[in-house]
Structure 1
Amino acid sequence: MEIQRQTKRGFILVSIMLAMFMAAIEGTIIATAMPNIVAELGGFSLFSWVFSVFLLAQAVTIPLYGKFADIYGRKPVFTIGIIIFIIGSFLCGFAKTMQTLILFRLVQGLGAGAIQSIAMTIVGDIYSLKERAKVQGYISSVWGFASIFGPALGAFFVQYIHWAWVFWVNIPIGIFAALGIVVFLKEDIQMQPHEIDYLGSIYIFISISVLMIVLIQAGTVWKWLSPQVLSMFVAFGVGITLFIFQEKIASEPIIKLELWRDPAILISNIATLTTGIVLIGISSFLPTYVQGVMNQSALIAGFSLGVMSIGWLISAALAGKFVLKYGFRKIALWGGIWIVSGSIFFVNIMPNRGWVWGAIGSFLIGIGMGFTRTVFIVAIQDSVGWEDRGVATASNMFMNILGNTIGAALLGGILNMRLLSYFKSISAGQYSLDLNVVNTLLDETKRSQLPQELIQQITTGLSLSLKNVFWGVLFFSVVSLFLIFLLPQHKVES
């Protein structure tokens, strides 16, 4: 299969950027709206599941979609993914409970798995290596651009219309993106018999699901050394072992393990996972800190997160140019240093320092993400031929989403465990404090009816718990920087 010459690259790129914008804005716009959604639907204890289940479905389907794209062509698989994502977005807006919202987010995630990986694959198909470095910078900039408007748009919807529109805004964007790909992308597909590694997909789905449940529930619902947790760790180990064995014997595995023998691919993918944990830690929990602890509006919370995009936008555009001159490792190191610097701001955040402190940390991390993520994807695509580019790109997207999934579950579990421990250690008089008391804190009307002393106790507990989350972010930032030091020094040939 090859892309035909009559493909109109400009229109294709616009369609890809629309689809990427839809996927990118989904993260930031929901993060800003989540405190308001929790206030209306309740279920703060299920907070992490809204992110985790979406990411789980995305992580599991990314390798499959990458394989489907190599077999059946980019166009049909990409279009089907957008359609599923639109259906999920439509349903999310009608959710009446946190449980139904989580279910519809699962549907959304099943479609989202096709968008990121195949979009990047199409870019790799229609642009040369020299062009690709710059275009990948533009694609990465879409995430930054979405981060500017996502938080502000989410704040506008929840304050002046309804939170359902944070999901429904995807519908027109997705329709235009799908139409652009259907009309303008021309592929010459030579159908050949292939085998899909469904068994490998089942193993990885079970493994990640079990790990996610453990990270969220352990320490709150179950004790860490309880039979439930220990049995799930065993199940995770067995599932991963079976997955690796299956990928070695499968004729067409969903993840080609031999590609990971290349140091550039191995290090880029692992560092993508760790930076994915950092990214979800900030985007998921900073708005909650600004609204719940600092008692600021959704608009302010959105802006404090959105400034990450400004740094991302600038550095991603620069990375596309600098990587051609200075090589992969040097540019990625710049990014790693910025990420650690931003994370240090978050472990020193305090209510009296105001939301600007968090905004500065977001900006610094955004700079780092723009540099590192652009380098990772270009390095991976530069290491393989066309026939493996879909699988290789999908492997990087998979590791990114896997990092997001682990981060949402792990950091959400830390938040719940620390907050529950704090509530048990204090006396709240006539009030019985549990995790869902935060629902009241995030609802402005209900919050105003609480005694000031109780509000202070809850906000203190939330502040201390979120500080633990930010320490986790710093840890994975340092790990990411260490991994980048191991990235091979390689310059892209002109």
Structure 2
Amino acid sequence: MDEILPADVMINRSGAIRASSKTSSPHLQHPVTYNDAPETRPVLVESSTQLRPPSVTRHTGGDLDPRQPPSPAGSGVSYNPRDSNTWRSSSLAGRSHFRSPPPSGDLRLSTQFPEEGSSMQPWNDRRNSSMEVGGDGERITRSSVEIPIMAQGQIINDKVPKAKQVPLMIGFVITSFLAGLDASSYPLALPSIHNTYPNTDTLWLKVAYMLAFYSACPLYGYYSNIFGRRPLLCGSLTIYAIGSLVGGFAVNAAMLIACRTFAGLGAAGLLSMILVVLGDIFPVQKRPVYLLFVFTSFVLGEIAGRMITCVVITYMDWRPLFWISAILAFITFSLIFPFSKLIDHDHAERPPTSERLRAVDFLGTATLVGAIVTFLLATTLAASGTFQWSSVAVVGLYHAAAISVALLLLIEKTATKPLVPLQIVEERSLVAILVMSMTIGFGWNGFFEHVPFFMQVLHSENTIMSGIRFIPLFVANVVCSILAVTTVRRLDFRFYLVSGLALFAIGIGLTSILDQSTGFGQEIAFYLEFGAGTGFFLPILVTAGQAFSRGEEMAIVTNLIVFFISLSGAISDAMWDQILTTDFPSRLDQISTDILSATSKQLALTSITSIGTLPATAQSAIVSAFTESVQLALRITVPFAVVAFLAAFWVESFHMVGRAQMYINQRAAQSTV
């Protein structure tokens, strides 16, 4: 038999195979088709042994994923005995036919495919390993260039008619708006709630919801892989709606805290489950467009939530805010539930509930929740001034969090189905994306939660007017999001992540110089820059995280992105609280008593928006001190934005040019297989 020398093979649009280097075998002249879709794409074939008929066929679990041991169930490479010239690479979403003499020996296949819409998505793997299919089919490892893995969103997209996608998308958009509304409205309602229950510390009204939210947030993706997307998505909506509805009728503070805790468990899954389901329904090259609608409505909810809260509290009470949230949740549920069976496309293939329960990592879940609760509780209690940072309670809680994290790592190494597959850290692009998520929240939360209040103080205006100032930011966000999602197929993930985070960091830095002398046009320019940055990177960040994920990792990675952005936002909240409760009072102490009396100082500390009755000199001094404290907080967040910007360079290239026809051809091929 002839030996195949290393050859760079191109499959042209006619389906013929062409070698760019010399070969001693005529077999390479056989026509080759991939999914019956002729395309021009590089396929590097290297063989160090002779060709001879194979004796054993071995499948691998997953799509040629070396991290899963060879298993009869799944997909992989097989030989069709009815056709001696056909090799078949099958997957859940489709089959690939390679027409050539049946190879044996050690065949290394390095590829850069599939094209747009195919049942496999490219996963850039630069590690030094190779996929070797021996004559006995026993050894299968990763290729050193680019290996295709199954893309989430192919099979389901074929089964969800466009007429049913519309109500689902409307429900998703309302859900994301609700998530933004809830994030921005509740903190503003706390003073009004405190007036209703004056003997209750508002800190616990905030902490109870926060602990429930962050404890449940990282779990939704994992449990949706086991029990399905439908029960987790619909369950989160139901829990949030019931908690909000009953909370609006709370008769005492204890009942309100319990309802907010219950609602927080559901709110944790609103945005993350929407993003996971979108990853299931739509292929990666179409997904950014739908993520545009989701994130635009989320930003709109963040901005509009402040204005809605101001109007409702001014003319009514805080209770209608809870009822509005409950009504929106029930409307969303009514739109999603009738079509929710389409979300769990493999529901019939799932094992019985008892088997799924045995697969759950309950010990890891408890350890993770313990780590989150102890860490956030220590940070919040210290930042609010309830305890000193060096107190026994705070130090003890931090030690408990550290021990819980260490135990979690040990548990996850031996878990059958770990909460977070530790192999994720082997993919540098995913590590970079998670690092970006961990650092983005500092600037995001500081800008959307605290800068509007800063504008109220700086310009002596109400919440509605400060919200109107953010309209240019929203417009820039929408315009740049549209630009990003429509051109990312021609450019690259990394381009928009780098450029977006650069604008994001610069926007925060420029905002940190705002003061009483800043002109209106200059202020709007800063908002435009920040909005443009978020528009560029936000939908692309989630798309990239899902594109570089493998199989069930998609839901977990998506969930982690949302969790880390939210968690860094919570830490940012604690930082702002610390600065405004320590730095701001110290600056007020430096003001002469001739300008600022003790009574005026106390008014500034308790209700800074009510200083309009004070003399002009006292108002100016208070606003100047508050401005310097806010500038300090914003400058602290700039390094985190810079870290996110640098991490974006570690995301590998991912191009989606020319893949639409491939998807169409593949679907036609699937119907004939």
| TM-score normalized by the length of structure 1 | 0.87
Determine helix, strand or coil for the equivalent of 2:607.
helix
Tell whether 2:298 aligns with 1:133: no
Distance 1:142 1:325 in 2: 25
**Distance apart, 1:267 and its partner CA:** 1.0
- Can you list the C-alpha shifts for 1:37-92, whole angstroms capped at 9, x where unaligned? 67877799957x76665444333212322122122221221111011112333355
**Distance 1:32-1:473 versus aligned 2 partners, 3 A rule:** farther
**Distance 1:451-1:211 versus aligned 2 partners, 3 A rule:** farther
Match in the other structure for 1:297 = 462
Tell whether 2:232 aligns with 1:77: yes
**Distance apart, 1:120 and its partner CA:** 1.1
Distance 1:311 1:133 in 2: 17
Instruction: Tell me, yes or no, if the aligned pair for 2:185 and 2:309 is still in contact at 8 Å.
Output: yes
Determine helix, strand or coil for the equivalent of 2:469.
helix
Instruction: Tell me, yes or no, if the aligned pair for 1:144 and 1:313 is still in contact at 8 Å.
Output: no
Distance 1:324 1:6 in 2: 23
Instruction: Tell me, yes or no, if the aligned pair for 1:294 and 1:354 is still in contact at 8 Å.
Output: no
**Distance 1:78-1:479 versus aligned 2 partners, 3 A rule:** same
Tell whether 2:451 aligns with 1:286: yes
Match among 302, 324, 327 for residue 169 of structure 1: 324
Match among 418, 440, 448 for residue 275 of structure 1: 440
Match among 24, 42, 53 for residue 180 of structure 2: 24
Match in the other structure for 1:191 = 350
**Distance apart, 1:112 and its partner CA:** 1.3
Match in the other structure for 2:423 = 258
**Distance apart, 1:123 and its partner CA:** 1.0
Determine helix, strand or coil for the equivalent of 1:384.
coil
Question: Which segment is superposed worse, 4-13 or 266-275?
Answer: 4-13
> Counterparts of 1:61-72 in structure 2 under 5 Å?
61-72=216-227
Match among 397, 400, 414 for residue 232 of structure 1: 397
- Can you list the C-alpha shifts for 1:17-42, whole angstroms capped at 9, x where unaligned? 12112112222444665676678777
Determine helix, strand or coil for the equivalent of 2:299.
helix
> Counterparts of 1:60-459 in structure 2 under 5 Å?
60-93=215-248, 104-147=259-302, 149-186=304-341, 187=344, 188-189=346-347, 190-192=349-351, 193-194=355-356, 195-218=359-382, 220-353=385-518, 359-423=524-588, 429-431=597-599, 438-442=605-609, 444=610, 447=611, 455=619, 458-459=622-623
Percent identity over the alignment is: 21
**Distance apart, 1:279 and its partner CA:** 0.9
Distance 1:277 1:438 in 2: 24
Tell whether 2:634 aligns with 1:467: no
Match in the other structure for 1:10 = 166
Aligned amino acid, residue 394 of structure 1: N
Larger Rg: 2
Distance 2:253 2:528 in 1: 31
Distance 1:62 1:449 in 2: 44
**Distance 1:94-1:359 versus aligned 2 partners, 3 A rule:** farther
Instruction: Tell me, yes or no, if the aligned pair for 1:148 and 1:307 is still in contact at 8 Å.
Output: no
**Distance 1:148-1:64 versus aligned 2 partners, 3 A rule:** closer
More helix by percentage? 1
Aligned amino acid, residue 248 of structure 1: K
Question: Which segment is superposed worse, 90-99 or 289-298?
Answer: 90-99
Instruction: Tell me, yes or no, if the aligned pair for 2:458 and 2:515 is still in contact at 8 Å.
Output: no
Instruction: Tell me, yes or no, if the aligned pair for 2:440 and 2:641 is still in contact at 8 Å.
Output: yes
**Distance apart, 1:386 and its partner CA:** 4.0
Higher relative contact order (CA 8 A, sep 6+): 1
Distance 2:199 2:221 in 1: 35
Instruction: Tell me, yes or no, if the aligned pair for 1:332 and 1:375 is still in contact at 8 Å.
Output: yes
Distance 1:421 1:400 in 2: 31
**Distance 1:323-1:252 versus aligned 2 partners, 3 A rule:** same
**Distance 1:263-1:421 versus aligned 2 partners, 3 A rule:** same
**Distance 1:161-1:62 versus aligned 2 partners, 3 A rule:** same
**Distance apart, 1:388 and its partner CA:** 3.0
Instruction: Tell me, yes or no, if the aligned pair for 1:207 and 1:239 is still in contact at 8 Å.
Output: yes
Determine helix, strand or coil for the equivalent of 1:129.
coil
**Distance apart, 1:339 and its partner CA:** 0.5
- Can you list the C-alpha shifts for 1:127-167, whole angstroms capped at 9, x where unaligned? 12222132222322222333453333333323333343333
Determine helix, strand or coil for the equivalent of 1:67.
helix
More strand by percentage? 2
Determine helix, strand or coil for the equivalent of 2:564.
helix
Determine helix, strand or coil for the equivalent of 1:351.
coil
> Counterparts of 1:23-42 in structure 2 under 5 Å?
23-30=179-186
Tell whether 2:212 aligns with 1:57: yes
**Distance apart, 1:296 and its partner CA:** 0.9
Aligned amino acid, residue 241 of structure 2: I
Distance 2:340 2:515 in 1: 50
Distance 1:96 1:347 in 2: 42
**Distance apart, 1:329 and its partner CA:** 0.8
- Provide the alpha-carbon RMSD of the alignment: 3.3
Distance 1:6 1:132 in 2: 15
Distance 1:440 1:144 in 2: 27
Determine helix, strand or coil for the equivalent of 2:656.
coil
Question: Which segment is superposed worse, 88-97 or 371-380?
Answer: 88-97
Instruction: Tell me, yes or no, if the aligned pair for 2:438 and 2:564 is still in contact at 8 Å.
Output: yes
**Distance apart, 1:425 and its partner CA:** 5.2
**Distance apart, 1:282 and its partner CA:** 1.3
**Distance 1:6-1:221 versus aligned 2 partners, 3 A rule:** closer
Determine helix, strand or coil for the equivalent of 1:353.
coil
Distance 1:307 1:168 in 2: 30
Distance 1:77 1:175 in 2: 15
Question: Which segment is superposed worse, 323-332 or 252-261?
Answer: 252-261
Aligned amino acid, residue 336 of structure 2: I
Instruction: Tell me, yes or no, if the aligned pair for 1:304 and 1:356 is still in contact at 8 Å.
Output: no
Determine helix, strand or coil for the equivalent of 2:317.
coil
Distance 2:455 2:545 in 1: 37
Aligned amino acid, residue 80 of structure 1: G
Aligned amino acid, residue 382 of structure 2: A
**Distance 1:410-1:210 versus aligned 2 partners, 3 A rule:** farther
